[in-house]
Each structure stands twice: as C-alpha cells, then as structure tokens.
Amino acid sequence: MKLTLPLQGYFELLRHQPGEKKYVCINCGRPVTGLYRQISSTVLKIIDCEKCKNPADKYIEFEVLIILIDLILLSKPAYRHILYNSDCKNLWKIGCILILLEAYCFWTDAFRGITSISYRSHVNDPFLSEKGFYLSTVHFVVGFCLLYGFIYLFTRALHRTAPSLTGNGKSYPHMLLHGVILASIGKFLFIPIIIWRENSTETGMAIHIVLVLVYFVISLVQIHSVISECARTRSCLIVILAFIVKAYFLTRVSGLLQEFV
C-alpha cells in the first residue's frame, strides 16, 4: 500500500524509538509499537493491532479534511489519532483563539439572550470599551481553568481507576488539557453569531448558542471517555457536575469583574 502521509506538516506523527509502545490503536485504545512498516522508500504498510486485529491507525493515509469531518462527527478513533498519535504542538494556539472569540462575543453583548452578564461599557470612551474586552477575556480564561480543574478533580473522585499515564506514555493531566481544548473546537460555530447578529432575533441567537454549548458538552463527554477509559455515562456525570460547579464559581467571579466596568 502506498502512503503519502498527507498529515506531514499539519498533524505530524509523533516520533518514537522503534519498539517503544508510545502509539495507540485508534480502535481499542491499546498501546502499539508502531503504526506502519516501511517496505521500501516509497511504500509503507499499516500495522494491524495485535488485540483487535484492525489497522492501528487508518488516518495516516487520510487527508486532513476527512479527519476534520470525523472530528465534527465525534468519532472516537479520530480523537485518539489527534490526541495520541499526532504531534499537536499548536493546539494551545487554538485554545487561545477560542477564548478570544468567546470574549469578543461577550464584549459585543452577543450572549445577552441567555445571560445577564455583560462587560460592554456604554460610556463613549474607547479606553473603557477596550477594558471591557480585557475583562471578558479574563472571564473566559478563569472559566476554562475552572472547567478543566473540576473535571480533573471529579474524575479522580468518581473514577479512581483513571490512568496516571495514558496509552502513549503522557501524563493524564496533560492529555486531559489537550482534550478539553480539542472539544472546544465546536465553539467556532459562534462565528455566525458575530456575522449575522444584527439580522437575528434574540430568541434565534439564544437557540444557536444553546445548540453550540450542547455540542461542546457532548464533545467533551466523548473525549473524556477516550482519555479516562471509562463509560460514557460516567463521563457524562463528571462533565455535567464540572459544568454546574464551574457555573456557580464563575458567576461569583463575574460579579467581581463587573465592578471594574
């Protein structure tokens, strides 16, 4: 089988020494020694997993667009490929962009349909207006940290068998952080709110926001199930509890921040 490895330069495969079990099978999640065997300088063959007998990682021969579509469809194999077998060095940049996107939505009152929180200054002073954007950014940075922290704590409390090291040898907190960022990619669907906000009703915008948040929660449950190696029901319980507690603490933080507007 000829493989061109189209992910090179985008999501490059992790590089490990031969014989190290640092990759995982995207089907069953078990560690494997490698993903492909090089037959010649131009021909590679995907290695089958010893446990499930399926190709260890079929995505190494897929175009990036196909992988992104599977991510949108909440495919566990696609999540495992990105988190365990790919070198996602720039994933933190995506997280920063998403925080700025949400902060901009709050700053422009795009979320006013489902919340009373607003950091938009109504004083015609450009410096005060810019201050509101910075405060909304702090709001979402704190919210992200609270969500990540509570998911980690509830996982340790309710799922004591969560691995300290994941299938590819990385620490569990490190992979959970990557997972929360990856689940947040669905928040790019907030962009239409910014574009068509003036031509939409508050009810329509509220429905749009709720649907995006529901998609984010489902993505987070799916990724948590992959990383923590637990059932979806338990992952759902942990994620929902983390969201509830995060909302409680974030409301108090928001009250403090609004005093500076």
Whether residue 103 is found in the same domain as residue 185 = yes
The model's pLDDT over 166-196, given as tens digits with 9 standing for 90+, comes to 655 678 888 899 999 999 999 999 988 888 8
| Range of lowest pLDDT (19-28, 49-58, 200-209, 238-247) | 19-28
> Is the pLDDT higher at 245 or at 257?
245
Whether residue 100 is found in the same domain as residue 217 = yes
The model's pLDDT over 7-27, given as tens digits with 9 standing for 90+, comes to 444 445 555 554 455 788 898
Mention every residue, 6+ apart, whose C-beta is less than 8 A from residue 147. 180, 242, 243, 246
Mention every residue, 6+ apart, whose C-beta is less than 8 A from residue 218. 74
- HSE-CB of 248 using CA atoms within 13 angstroms: 6
Residue 73 included in any domain:
no
What SS3 class is residue 29? Answer: coil
Whether residue 243 is found in the same domain as residue 173 = yes
CA distance 120 to 139: 13
Residue 167 included in any domain:
yes
Whether residue 175 is found in the same domain as residue 103 = yes
Whether residue 97 is found in the same domain as residue 52 = no
Residue 74 included in any domain:
no
Mean of per-residue pLDDT scores for the chain: 81
Residue 211 included in any domain:
yes
Residue 22 included in any domain:
yes
Whether residue 184 is found in the same domain as residue 243 = yes
Whether residue 107 is found in the same domain as residue 225 = yes
Residue 130 included in any domain:
yes
Whether residue 108 is found in the same domain as residue 195 = yes
Query: How many domains would you assign to the chain?
Result: 2
CA distance 249 to 4: 49
Whether residue 202 is found in the same domain as residue 143 = yes
| Range of lowest pLDDT (78-82, 200-204, 236-240) | 200-204
Residue 181 included in any domain:
yes
Whether residue 142 is found in the same domain as residue 213 = yes
CA-based nearest residue to 89, from 31, 10, 180: 10
What pLDDT, on the 0 to 100 scale, is given for residue 106? 81
Give exposure, 221-254, as e/b (b: 16+ Cβ within 10 Å): bbbbbbbbbbeeebbbbbbebbbebbeeebeeeb
Structural domain for 236, as ranges: 88-260
Cα dist from 142 to 25, 109, 169, 212, 220, whole Å: 35, 19, 29, 20, 18
> Is the pLDDT higher at 38 or at 94?
94
CA distance 232 to 245: 20
Q: Which two tokens stand for residue 146?
A: 């609270």
Whether residue 204 is found in the same domain as residue 247 = yes
Residue 33 included in any domain:
yes
CA distance 99 to 76: 25
Q: Which two tokens stand for residue 90?
A: 């720039």
Mention every residue, 6+ apart, whose C-beta is less than 8 A from residue 182. 71, 79, 82, 83, 91, 219, 223
Average pLDDT over residues 245-259: 79
What pLDDT, on the 0 to 100 scale, is given for residue 1? 41
